[in-house]
Structures are given as structure tokens and as C-alpha cells.
Amino acid sequence: MSTADIAALTECSRPTVNSWLRKHDIKLRSKRGVWNAARRERNRVALDERRKDPEFNRKVSEAASKKMTERWDDPEFVEHVKRLGSERMKKKWEDPEFYEHMCKENSRTLKEKWKNPEFREKQRKMLSERSKEWWKDPEYRERVTERSKKLWEDDEYREMMSKKAKEQWADLEYYQYMTDVVNEHWADPENRESVSGENSVHWRGGKSFEPYTPDFNFEFKEYIRNREGRCCFLCGKAADENGTRLDVHHIDYDKENTTEENCVALCKKCHTDTNHTRKKWKVYLNARLAETYILT
Ligand SMILES: [Zn+2]
């Protein structure tokens, strides 16, 4: 509506309408703005008309794809897109909801895939291959520990993980399967070899334990605590929050079985918890250990 329209409607002059509008601080559309809007509208209608012509559409998409190809040839542009993408992915993963969704999605598809014996066989092979490369790289080890430490410092993440654990808890079949995989993995002499002697430097923290009968001594316990980033393996509580050094727990409750795949560092509270429903804890911890140190 224009001021002239208002003047006609209210039966007064345009200057009167203008002065009232000013009084109430009502902004008038600028002539330029009105023209521009009209031009945009005209262009839109014209474009809609031209889009009906397939030849025109073909030309437009050709030009666009040519422009895109040119841009992808520009290393600066490629770098920019990559940076944008990785930043976006990082942001996405920082969103607990997205993370939870991906965790769920992952475990769902994994479980689905595990029903297929062929996939299981492949997975097992990959596992044994990977474990050989396992902690050989000190940088990788540090990165993993740093990452998990940071994540566990976040209350929200801790809460989410405990929720996730409870959910998976219900799925004992899944964990039983994981336990079988781990046991099978360690039954293979080749895999055991890969973590003993020379290859064991990082897995064993550079200390020389007897391959499969290390003593449950301070050195060994410190090694396990360090592996866990000096945080409780279950709830992520840091050692200083625990008040004392973390306990080192035997997953299968056999105190003689002092191996790194049978031991985890726990806070006082979690260690007490593992005294109940032992069977469940054994299955669960075995699986978590595999998830943390083998499958990642
Ligand atoms: Zn704990």
C-alpha cells in the first residue's frame, strides 16, 4: 500500500498521512527498494518462463558444471572445502546427540553384520592383523589415551556412556560374542607373539614382563593404570579424584591370571561394584577391553 492509497482511504491529504507516519516513527519504503523488489519479481517470472525451455536448462547446468570443474582445479578452493568439511564433521561429532546416534547405529549394523559367518571370519582376520600393528606406534597410543581422557572429563559424555553401557548390558549375547572373539584372538600363538618380546614395547609400556605370567607387582599395575590414562576404566574417574591409586582388577577374578588382557584399572567404587553379578562383569569388561584396545 502506498501513502497515496492511504490518503484516498482516509480521505485526507498525502502530507497529512506522511506527517502521521513520521509521528509514529513508521518507516516508508524507499523508492529504490520498491523498484528493486519489482525488478526481482520481474526477473523471477522471466526465469521461470525460460526454465520451461530444455535447451536453456541444459546450457545453464553445463555452465555450472564447467565452473565447478574449474574451481576444483584450484588447490586453494579444494583446501578450503576440505577444511570446511572436516570442521563440520568435528562439530557434528562434538554433538552428544549425534555421537550417541552414531554409536547406536554402529552397534546396530555391527550386530546385524555379525549374524553373517563370512563377515565374522573377515572381522576376525582383520582383528588379528590390526592387533599386530596395535600399540606399535607410540603417537597413536598417546592420541587414543589423550582423547579418551578428555572425553571422560566431560560429565555429559560420562553420563551418556554409562547410559549406553546399561543399554548394551541388556544385550549379553553381543558381549558373549565379543568375549569369544577376544579369547579366540589370544588363543592364536601368532597374536600372543605379536605382543611379547620386541613387539611388546608399547603394549607393555617398554617394561619386560614375562609374556604370559607377569607378576602382579607395582610395575605391572602401574602399566595397566597408565594404559587407562590413569582414569577408571569403567567410569572414567581420575586417580586423584579416587583419593588413592586405582585398583587393578582381574577380569576373570583369577588372581593368578595376571595378563594385560585380563586386567583393568578401576576406581574404588567400580571395583566394589564388580563384586556383584560377577559373570556379567566378566563378559562386559572383556568386551569393553576389546572395544577399547582392539577394535578402535
Ligand atoms: Zn570407576
* 262 Cα: distance to centroid of ligand 1 (angstroms): 17
Domain presence at residue 78? no
Domain presence at residue 218? yes
Instruction: Give yes or no for a contact between 262 and 94, defined as CB atoms under 8 angstroms apart.
Output: no
Rounded CA gap, 205 and 89, in Å?
A: 33
Rounded CA gap, 239 and 242, in Å?
A: 5
58 and 107 inside one domain: no
* 272 Cα: distance to centroid of ligand 1 (angstroms): 9
Chosen domain end from 22, 57, 73: 73
* 199 Cα: distance to centroid of ligand 1 (angstroms): 31
Cell of 123: 572381522
In the chain, the largest separation of any two C-alpha atoms, in whole Å, equals 104
Comparing CA positions, the residue from 226, 224, 246 lying closest to residue 237 is: 246
61 and 103 inside one domain: no
* 236 Cα: distance to centroid of ligand 1 (angstroms): 6
Comparing CA positions, the residue from 218, 251, 215 lying closest to residue 233 is: 251
C-alpha Rg value of the chain to the nearest Å: 32
**Residues 148-199: tens digit of each pLDDT:** 667 767 777 777 777 766 666 556 666 666 667 666 766 666 665 555 444 4
In this structure, what are the phi and psi dihedrals at residue 32, rounded to the nearest 5 degrees?
-60, -45
54 and 117 inside one domain: no
Rounded CA gap, 189 and 277, in Å?
A: 32
Query: What is the predicted pLDDT for the residue at 205?
Result: 36
67 and 114 inside one domain: no
Cell of 129: 592383523
Task: Give the environment of ion ligand 1: residues with CB less than 5 A.
Answer: 232, 234-235, 237, 267, 270
Comparing CA positions, the residue from 234, 245, 256, 73 lying closest to residue 169 is: 234
* 231 Cα: distance to centroid of ligand 1 (angstroms): 8
Query: What is the predicted pLDDT for the residue at 264?
Result: 94
Query: What is the predicted pLDDT for the residue at 201?
Result: 34
* 152 Cα: distance to centroid of ligand 1 (angstroms): 11
Rounded CA gap, 31 and 38, in Å?
A: 11
65 and 116 inside one domain: no
Question: How many residues can be counted in the chain?
Answer: 296
**pTM above threshold 0.85:** no
Rounded CA gap, 54 and 74, in Å?
A: 31
* 265 Cα: distance to centroid of ligand 1 (angstroms): 9
112 and 217 inside one domain: yes
Strands (E), the chain: 247-250, 263-266
* 270 Cα: distance to centroid of ligand 1 (angstroms): 4
Q: Write the Ramachandran bin of 230: left for phi over 0, alpha for psi from -120 to 50, otherwise beta.
A: left
* 235 Cα: distance to centroid of ligand 1 (angstroms): 4
Give the contacts of 81 (CB within 8 A, at least 6 positions apart): none
* 291 Cα: distance to centroid of ligand 1 (angstroms): 18
* 196 Cα: distance to centroid of ligand 1 (angstroms): 29
Cα separations in angstroms, 80 against 65, 74, 92: 19, 10, 18
Q: Within 13 Å, how many C-alpha atoms sit on residue 211's CB side?
A: 12
Q: Can you tell me which residue has the cell 582388577?
A: 249
Rounded CA gap, 256 and 107, in Å?
A: 33
* pLDDT-flagged residues of the chain (< 70): 29, 86, 89-90, 93, 103-111, 113-115, 123-145, 148-149, 152, 164-179, 181-183, 185-214, 294-296
**Residues 21-32: tens digit of each pLDDT:** 888 888 776 777
157 and 26 inside one domain: no
* 133 Cα: distance to centroid of ligand 1 (angstroms): 29
* 84 Cα: distance to centroid of ligand 1 (angstroms): 38
Alpha carbon of residue 289 to chain centroid: 18
Query: What is the predicted pLDDT for the residue at 111?
Result: 66
112 and 259 inside one domain: yes
Cell of 186: 589370544
17 and 53 inside one domain: yes
Count how many domains the chain has: 2
67 and 120 inside one domain: no
Q: Which domain holds residue 159?
A: 97-293
* 220 Cα: distance to centroid of ligand 1 (angstroms): 20
